[in-house]
């Protein structure tokens, strides 16, 4: 009896690369690019992700999107009340937080890597902030 093969988005190679990344603490796409400059890892593919997968999801296989803070809650509950309206100010603030807070919210690079999904509306700090907290008086915040 022939049983149909289960559909799995990973190739053997992309899964192998993912395991290498997780084992070595590769946390962002920037970390991955840096890791590829290490002589032992130079043969890693430029982009090992299965089609349609974000860097965040690829590098954090134990983090289910449904378990992450929603984008609107992040902006309205973290950024706005703490007056974290610039990415560099947010990163500085994030670096001073305890692990129980810092581990539940994304870095600026995590946002760019798809923490909030594939939507272009949520893949930069500025666009994300402006989506849920538009600048007043029509001025763009940079």
- Residue 122: the pLDDT is 84
Burial class (CB in 10 A: 0-12, 13-18, 19+), 45: exposed
- Residue 6: the pLDDT is 42
- Residue 111: the pLDDT is 97
- Residue 92: the pLDDT is 97
- Residue 137: the pLDDT is 62
For residues 136 and 22, what is the distance between their CA atoms, to the nearest angstrom?
A: 42
For residues 14 and 12, what is the distance between their CA atoms, to the nearest angstrom?
A: 6
- Taking 50 as the pLDDT cut, the residues of the chain under it are 1, 3-7, 141-142
At a CB cut-off of 8 Å and minimum separation 6, what does 46 contact? Answer: 36
């Amino acid at each position: 009896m022939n049983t149909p093969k289960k559909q799995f988005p990973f190739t053997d190679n992309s899964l192998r690369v993912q395991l290498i990344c997780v084992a070595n603490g590769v946390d962002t796409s920037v970390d991955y690019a840096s890791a590829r400059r290490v002589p032992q890892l130079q043969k890693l593919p430029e982009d090992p992700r299965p089609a349609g997968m974000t860097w965040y999801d690829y590098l954090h296989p134990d983090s289910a999107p449904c378990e992450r803070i929603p984008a609107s809650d992040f902006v309205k509950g973290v950024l706005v009340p703490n007056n974290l309206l610039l990415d560099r100010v947010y990163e500085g603030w994030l670096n001073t937080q305890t692990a129980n807070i810092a581990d539940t919210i994304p870095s600026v690079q995590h946002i760019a890597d798809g923490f909030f999904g594939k939507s272009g509306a949520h893949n930069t700090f500025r666009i994300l902030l402006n989506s849920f907290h538009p600048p007043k008086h029509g001025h763009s915040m940079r």
